[in-house]
Chain A
């Protein structure tokens, strides 16, 4: 966006994450090999992997920005700016899809937030997508959101969780029912404005042929959606607590609620206040 070029660009993370980076740099045989973990740091720092984050990572790991961009678009679990602040990932692979478990979870999300898979709410707070196996096939449906893992996520449990998130954000289901959601446009050009990158029509390899009569627009998955006109890049409200929030797992996991004692990651839990 135009404001980006006027602001002085950062080349580093916040000090405590830089310390973490130096740890990685020492442990890994070379800086490039630490990329996966450094991208996770970037995700924590910015709430999602933004253009700025990619540049910083490229500088730190001594690779081209295009390489980092290649990584980020290859691995689906990284959070990107076009995702909502709360990103619902619902497993749609066979074991979860049997007995309509996936559809049940998606319907509940649609009822509360008004979003179908591949969409995000108008304010960018919530998004929903179908993902492939999340490896907890004995307790379908499996859902991940906000770096937490939930299994048997349907019925009252899912409703309670959705209500909790809505309450945290001060929003209501009625508001989302009234305002139309937006399609998540994965084609948002991710190279920064000052690169003078005029493209922005890179067509994802996974889009099906528009002329294929068997695929209807907006039917569901990201990769079966027929692309529409390019949307303006989203600005997610970062100010209050995205940074810290994304990383803390307060023991509320599908498997175990007794494990809150974990503190191995050092920076966990104290990030929110440091860098805003």
Chain B
């Protein structure tokens, strides 16, 4: 139950650490125009020219295995809060927004929306306060990256929040964590208190307004909110409803949160990982961030590996590496030498990839989109040949039915239907028409609801129907076999009685037979 028992340290020895010399070389390399993906010629969207490979060592997860990494003392010793100190009150906020925009950082929560662009959509001059809401309600099954960031390096997030609030002109940040993050909540709460005591959070942070450099006063409050176990609160407007003290019901968009969000005020919603990355991008600059990744997905991202691999865990890698590299090199290959059957690439809601597609896939937003799936939150689940796809989809549908908030009929009813019908398959009761029924329900759920939970439930179902239809058809055959046996049994029972003539009395098999009374 301790760190040592973690089967794999994130970013374990497979990647050489970045040295100073490498970094300068990397800066030069990044200056080259239009970097292209590292590898994967099979990706249709990839430009032909390969980009020189820059060594990468974990950034966000660099210190998580050091004891006491969650304390301010540890964070300050590695240069913590220096970036915020040097920028807050000094750099014009517009420059910071431009810097993040130029860096090409994309939201790490699932949708992959460019962060700088989101910040620039913020409604200005409304006279209302501006809020920052940081989404730590990481509930997509298969994703557990935020847990590490919150438990092991909360100050990194707090510093990112300070910089972001300064950039967007917010005086109040909310960090919403899911209720299940017990240690994460305690650590983050303690981190905010520590930062408050040091004057990094609160009134006139970093001594602005009184340090003799004509900097304006900057105030900031950071509030940590603990949720209580609702997947829907991971949806941005659902989270805002929850912070406002209501059920986590998503709100209709537009108006987008950047115009009317928390308490009807302009609000920026970002993921924990995104805000943590902001700290490093502001510190090291645009070129540094762009030396990794692909043209459209620059930078690095944390991936969460689970399922049938030898070393499951969190791995921070540059975007654009191949899925095979992730599974074989980082994950240590398949567990017990089993054969790979399928991969769910971006949390449970991402459509499944077959073994052939896995060979083509690279880990960036565009490649997975071109394969009909998505990068999502970066939760990669590897399914081996022993896994029954029907029970997998039943389990998935049960999850979404349980978590549907119930506002919109297509989702509330649709997820229930999907669960029931896949339950039928699971228990050998599915018929041929049910396969079409599943596809029909899934199709009619998409794009008809306030939030994307209905899509998130329908997408995996459509993926499974498309790629593993054979498994469903096999189940239909099984059902037919079972039913035929039942009919046969019902028919022969009286005959069998007369033949044996043992006087065994009415057979128990007669009871409840379908429609053969009299």
Contact = CB atoms under 8 A, between A and B. Distances in A.
Interface of A: 27-30, 32-37, 39-40, 61, 63, 67, 70-71, 74-78, 92-95, 97-99, 131-140, 144, 147-152, 157, 205-206, 208, 212, 214, 221, 223, 249, 252-259, 262-265
Contacts of B58: none
A255 B3 contact: yes
B70 A252 contact: no
B304 A36 contact: no
Contacts of A263: 190
Nearest to A254: B1
Given A74-B247, A95-B141, A133-B139, A138 B229 contact: no
Nearest to A95: B306
Contacts of A140: 306
Given A133-B139, A206-B402, A249 B183 contact: yes
B189 interface: yes
A36 B1 contact: no
A95 B7 contact: no
Interface stretch (B21-29, B422-430, B440-448, B487-495): B422-430
B144 A94 contact: no
A44 to B, nearest CB: 12
A268 to B, nearest CB: 8
Interface residues of B, number: 76
Nearest to B380: A137
A17 to B, nearest CB: 15
A149 B180 contact: yes
Interface of B: 1-3, 5-8, 67-68, 70, 138-144, 146-147, 151, 172, 178-183, 186-187, 189-190, 193, 221, 223, 225-231, 242-248, 263, 304-308, 312-314, 348, 379, 381, 383, 387, 392, 395-396, 398-399, 402-403, 405-406, 420, 423-424, 427, 429
A153 to B, nearest CB: 9
The residue in A63, A92, A133, A205 that gathers the most chain B C-beta atoms within 10 A of its C-beta is A133
A27 B189 contact: no
A259 B141 CA distance: 26
Contacts of B144: 135-138
Contacts of B231: 132-133
Given A37-B226, A94-B142, A138-B304, 13 more contacts: A40-B226, A67-B246, A71-B246, A75-B179, A75-B247, A95-B142, A98-B387, A132-B403, A214-B429, A249-B182, A253-B1, A256-B183, A264-B186
24 contacts: A30-B263, A40-B226, A77-B229, A92-B395, A93-B395, A94-B381, A95-B307, A133-B140, A133-B399, A135-B146, A137-B142, A138-B7, A138-B304, A138-B314, A150-B1, A212-B420, A214-B427, A249-B182, A249-B186, A253-B1, A253-B182, A258-B3, A259-B183, A264-B193
Contact of B67 (A70, A71, A136, A258): A258
B183 A149 contact: yes
A264 B189 contact: yes
Given A93-B141, A262-B190, A74 B1 contact: no
7 interchain residue pairs of minimum CB distance:
A77-B229, A264-B190, A75-B228, A35-B245, A138-B312, A77-B179, A77-B228
Contact of A135 (B2, B178, B263): B178
B229 A76 contact: yes
Contacts of A40: 226, 228
A36 B141 contact: no
B489 to A, nearest CB: 18
Nearest to B412: A205
Contact of B138 (A61, A70, A135, A138): A135
B182 A265 contact: no
Contacts of B172: 29
Contacts of B142: 94-95, 133, 137
Nearest to B179: A77
B399 A93 contact: yes
Nearest to B68: A258
Contacts of A208: 420
A257 B3 CA distance: 8
Nearest to A73: B247
A253 B181 CA distance: 10
Contacts of A34: 245
A157 B1 CA distance: 9
Nearest to B137: A135
Given A71-B247, A138-B306, A256 B178 contact: no
Given A257-B2, A262-B186, A262-B187, A94 B395 contact: yes
B381 A137 contact: yes
B437 to A, nearest CB: 15
Nearest to B181: A135
A32 B262 CA distance: 13
B190 A205 contact: no
B151 A255 contact: yes
B30 to A, nearest CB: 32
Contacts of B186: 249, 262, 264-265
A197 B163 CA distance: 52
A131 B242 CA distance: 20
A61 B187 contact: no
Nearest to A142: B180
Q: Residue among A61, A132, A258 with the most chain B CB within 10 A? A: A132
Contacts of B396: 94
Nearest to B178: A135
A97 B398 CA distance: 12
A252 B140 CA distance: 25
B202 to A, nearest CB: 11
